[in-house]
Chains A and B, each alone.
Chain A
Amino acid sequence: MSITYENFNEAIDTLHARYHEQRDVHVHGDWLDVQVMDRYGVSLLRVTKRLHAATAAAATDEQQQWTSTANPADGDAGNDDGDDDDDGKEDVLQEVDTEVVVRAAAATATATATATIQQQPSVVTYDLLHSPTYQVPVLYLTTQHQQQHTSPPGLPPPPPDEVYRLLVPAAHKPQMRAVGVMGALTLADHPATGRPAYSVHPCRTQEAMRAVTASRSSLWPEDYLLLWLGLVGAGVGLHVPVELARALSRS
């Protein structure tokens, strides 16, 4: 089931409005900010999400190329991200697995060769755009360093394994990794910035959305977006805060 560009825009505008109405509720949560942007004629929803210090530290131990510095410990270490485990049980598609391994190897070499100061990213940016080809939303994500002065220019995105560890705390064991048709992260050019970013490929989203919406002939755009976020966003650590979901849903 697809969504038109107009309805997509309506849905993201509504999400943005609801978030800001509830700003006080979210200020201590994971969703640091929600913006609607029109970037070179492409509209997108940008969700800036906090990464937890605990998650970041766990990931550090396993990756030599990411040097652990003093962790910015203003996160809520005890926060529960437990509702993502139902996505993790599917078998990895053969081609996705190989692709991820090859990319990880390539990116690891780069990170080791080019990184000077490594700082744990403490913020991740999720950009929701509309795919004109597939007529579904598409997700692009970038990890960022809040302290600008410690972020050397020219840094590549981290390897896929690292990204999963940062985003989906329960998935640090390979077999628990949140992949399957919806969770496969690949590097692609961000449609608005032209820079490499991780993306969940939209080609299977339409099918999956159809399956999930089978019993309903039509959906309010906001409900479509919520369903999509549950399907695609959850696999990469983007969970809609409960209060926001309640305020957004029309059904």
Chain B
Amino acid sequence: MPTHVERITSLQSKTWSGSLALEIRLAASDCRTYNESEPYLIQYPRLSYVAFLLPRLHAFFAASLINPEVPAHEAWLSFEDVPLKWHYPLGLLYDLLSGAEPVDLERSRREEQLSASQATAGASHGAVPIPWRLTIHYTDFPGDQLIQLDGAGRAMLDSFINGVKEADFIRNGSARTVMSLSKDDSDKLWLAVQTHDMSLFNTINTKLLNPPGLSLRHIPIKIYLPTSATQPSASEPITEETSAGHSAGHIRVVQSLVPLHLPSKQPQTLGTALNDILPTIFPSRRNPLLAQPVLHGAAVPMGAVMEDLSRAAAYTDGFLHVVVVMLG
């Protein structure tokens, strides 16, 4: 019988091994040939960032580019005309935009006695996932919607570090722990993210999760609400903001300080947290009546304990990036 710690470690392993099949095509307007160029195919980790692919993509598509002089970092990716934000991990982008049906862990468990970890790995029920089809562009960078990258990878590093600092602040009430990491340790952390190395990542991350003299106060979580979903209390968008690029609808990012425990001293669960933060969308603490919380492609059970979920399934910046998918 595995211990609690062993189960969390095993789940974390499954989270890190989660990946998605990507099929990336060059935008017709950037392509020299009339026929579509060959697509770039890759199985890429959910936890990673697509920006790391840009040098490889540039090398792959160079022969087909109308203007091969455009630097690799000036490219941008889109899914059905929606530009992909660089600082969102791939798994978050997919959960938000792909429209893929999340795996329902509760139903799986009841129906097939599968453990949660197997469903999280994504290889379930014999279904063959279709690759996520993306487009890469080398012109017409949408500067009003996307922050452009630089050739040195600095923009990616800065946004990652800001995320890690914020997660640290949320956990402990100060970002002291992150700020006091040695240069060597911060370099290792970033290297671990770039090379998707879980063991290296854990050697540094464990320092962030177990700061001496500080106790864990809140769980870092960001909740993503696509607003094409019906929200009874949504206020009207300001008309100045609506423009051509927003056909996917606006995505509202909700953050709130989620304590480890309830006032009753019971551990905080995903259900109690969602019910507290978004009561109209999650009126029940136990049952997803109107919407499901999706993480790494799976609808997470409402009873999941937040502290455990955070240790097992957080992204590399320390956050749980949870997408709300409306039911029915």
A103 and B237: CB pair below 8 A? no
Is B162's CB within 8 Å of the partner chain A? yes
| Contacts beyond the supplied A41-B252, A102-B150: 5 A-B pairs with Cβ under 8 Å | A39-B237, A40-B234, A109-B74, A114-B140, A133-B257
The minimal Cβ–Cβ distance linking A206 to chain B, given in whole angstroms, is 9
The answer to whether A40 and B150 touch across the interface, beta carbons within 8 angstroms, is no
A-B contact count (CB 8 A): 99
A179–chain B nearest beta-carbon distance, Å: 16
| In the bound complex, CA of A109 to CA of B244 (Å) | 24
**Residues of chain A contacted by B197 (CB below 8 angstroms):** none
Whether A193 pairs with B241 at a CB distance below 8 angstroms is yes
8 Å CB contact of A196 from B146, B152, B254: B146
Contact partners of A37 in chain B: CB under 8 A:
238
Stretch of B14-22, B165-173, B285-293 that contacts chain A:
B165-173
Instruction: Indicate if A203 sits at the interface (CB-CB under 8 A).
Output: yes
For chain B, the count of residues having a C-beta within 8 Å of the partner chain is: 44
With a CB–CB cut-off of 8 A, which chain A residues contact B255? Answer: 132-133
Of the listed stretches A153-161, A224-232, A242-250, name the one at the interface; the rest are far from the partner chain: A153-161
> Nearest A residue to B227 by beta-carbon distance?
A40
| Residues on the A chain within 8 Å of B241, using CB | 193, 195
Within 8 A of A (CB), among B131-162: 140-152, 154-155, 158-159, 162
Bound-state Cα–Cα, A156 to B238, Å = 20
A188 CA / B87 CA spacing, docked (Å): 10
Confirm or deny: A38 has a beta carbon within 8 angstroms of a beta carbon on chain B.
yes
In the bound complex, residues from chain A placing their C-beta under 8 Å from that of B244 are 153
Counting from the closest, the 4 A-B pairs by CB-CB distance are A156-B143, A106-B150, A132-B255, A40-B252
A sample of 9 cross-chain residue pairs with beta-carbon separation below 8 angstroms, ordered by A number, consists of A40-B250, A41-B235, A114-B140, A154-B142, A157-B143, A187-B147, A188-B147, A194-B253, A201-B162
A40-B237, A40-B250, A110-B141 known; A203 and B74 CB under 8 Å?
no
Which residues of chain A come closer than 8 Å to B256, judged between CB atoms? 132
Q: Does B326 contact A (CB under 8 A)?
A: no
Contacting pair A98 B154 (CB below 8 A): yes
Interface size class of A (residues with CB under 8 A): 35 or more
Cβ of B206 within 8 Å of any chain A Cβ, yes or no, is no
Contacts of B175 in A (CB 8 A): 203
Contacts of A153 in B (CB 8 A): 144, 243-244
Contact of A186 with B by CB under 8 A: yes
Contact assessment for B237 and A114 in the assembled complex, using a CB-CB cutoff below 8 Å: no
Asked if B57 is an interface residue, CB under 8 A from chain A, the answer is no
Shortest CB-to-CB span from B124 to chain A, Å, is 32
User: From A39, which residue of chain B is reached at the shortest CB distance?
Assistant: B238
Is A189's CB within 8 Å of the partner chain B? yes
Q: How far is the CB of A104 from chain B (nearest CB, A)?
A: 10
Decide if B209 is an interface residue (CB 8 Å cutoff). no
A156 and B145 CA atoms in complex are apart in Å by 8
Confirm or deny: B304 has a beta carbon within 8 angstroms of a beta carbon on chain A: no
Q: Is B35 an interface residue (CB 8 A)?
A: no
- Give the residues in chain B near A107, CB-CB below 8 Å: 148
A88 within 8 Å of B (CB atoms): no
Chain A residues contacting B155 (CB-CB under 8 Å) are: 102-103, 106
Contacts of B169 in A (CB 8 A): 133-134, 203
Q: Which of B57-96 contact A (CB under 8 A)?
A: 73-74, 85, 87
